Amino acid sequence: METSKIPSHVGIIMDGNGRWALLRGEKRSYGHRAGTANVEKITEHAFKLGIKTLSLYAFSSENWARPKEEVDELMRLLETYFKKFLKKVEKEKLRINVMGDTSVLSAKLQKIINKAVETTRANDVGVINIGLNYGGRQEIVYAVNKLLKENKEITVENISENLYSAEFGEPDLIIRTGGEIRLSNFMLYQGAYSELYFTDVLWPDFDEKELDKAIDAFSKRHRRFGKVEES
Ligand code: FPP
């Protein structure tokens, strides 16, 4: 694979866990467990390929409307994920960041998240940027309110610079698994010129080969950013 065509920042909407479980006669939470294991696998492969930032949509501001049992299981999985992978992430000099309003999460989960974010802050091999209680519209409102409070002008650049994960820039590529063709409130502002890749493959089945396919499709796109000539 041509390294110049490897996207630096990739966003992933990890959809299809529930259907993957139901197809196997299991509960939806079984799918979320398989989905969490897949996060580990795909993250490893992505950084090996040379991707620098992976933004993963783990829990949207709208996901609270799911049955309590499912929400509780997702929160438990996130706790385990942050605790279990912290050592590995530290060893590999990866950085964990969380974008979204984490203030409503349990005190225990907030503490685990803060530890992961703080202890990996200086790592520079790659960034795992996790959307948690995240919404793209809410993020834009957050940035605008911040500017208003600071008495700053509302401009395109100022909004960009005040988004939750402004320092990681815009995704070059956004992948959505699970067959739906929409963004579902994910990185709406930063995604203005992202290349989009949709696949029917359900998230727990989205393996290394599927990521290679998405990168390959990206490498054939001509990004013009609204201009006529190729960039
Ligand atoms: C969508 O599948 C997936 C989610 C709402 C949760 C995504 C979370 C994970 C993969 C696990 C935790 C993440 C990390 C970063 C450790 P769905 O339940 O909407 O599936 P369906 O469309 O088949 O119902």
Complete domains list, the chain, with CATH: 3-219 (3.40.1180.10)
- d(CA 50, CA 125) in angstroms, rounded, equals 9
Identify the residue whose tokens are 């279990």. 84
Identify the residue whose tokens are 């395109």. 156
Identify the residue whose tokens are 């050592």. 87
Enter the tokens of residue 126. Answer: 């790659």
As to burial, measured by CB atoms within 10 angstroms (0-12 exposed, 13-18 middle, 19+ buried), residue 69 is: exposed
Does the beta carbon of 17 sit less than 6 angstroms from any atom of ligand 1?
A: yes
Does the beta carbon of 14 sit less than 6 angstroms from any atom of ligand 1?
A: yes
DSSP 200: S
At residue 82, the pLDDT reads: 87
- d(CA 108, CA 172) in angstroms, rounded, equals 34
Q: Which residue has the least CA distance to atom 13 on ligand 1?
A: 58
Identify the residue whose tokens are 């501001």. 61
At residue 226, the pLDDT reads: 83
CA dihedral 77, 186, 215, 221 (to 10 degrees): 170
Does the beta carbon of 77 sit less than 6 angstroms from any atom of ligand 1?
A: yes
At residue 3, the pLDDT reads: 53
Identify the residue whose tokens are 């390294």. 3
pTM: 0.94
At residue 203, the pLDDT reads: 98
* Ligand 1 center–CA 161 separation, angstroms: 28
Instruction: Report how far apart, in Å, the C-alpha atoms of 210 and of each of 87, 89, 140, 202 are.
Output: 27, 23, 31, 11
The mean pLDDT values, 10 residues at a time, for the chain of 231 residues are 80 97 96 95 96 96 92 92 85 94 94 93 95 97 98 98 96 98 98 98 98 97 79 52
At residue 176, the pLDDT reads: 98
Q: Which residue has the least CA distance to atom 5 on ligand 1?
A: 59
